[in-house]
Amino acid sequence: MPERHCLLLHGFTGGPFEVEPLADHLRRHGFECTVPTLPGHDEGLRTLGRVHWYDWLDAAASETYRLTKAHGAIDLVGFSMGD
């Protein structure tokens, strides 16, 4: 069976810690997982006020493009970014 790749995205004001438990579970079952930190979600959220929703969308799209170019189809898992 070919290795599956997952892109896991955290929620608004969160971080990779939100999805790492799921990533760990998936890794134990043979999935390769990528868990990026979205723009503005640095420690203490110091730069959050300088980014916009489209910065998150661009980051997710760029990572999706990179992964699909390298591995073909991927699975995408994410938290809601609000209403």
pLDDT number for residue 9: 97
3-state secondary structure of 45: helix
pLDDT number for residue 2: 59
pLDDT confidence tier of residue 82, bands split at 50, 70 and 90:
low
Residues 16/77, Cβ–Cβ less than 8 Å: no
Give 24-79 pLDDT, tens digit per residue. Answer: 999 999 999 999 999 999 989 999 999 999 999 999 999 999 999 999 999 999 98
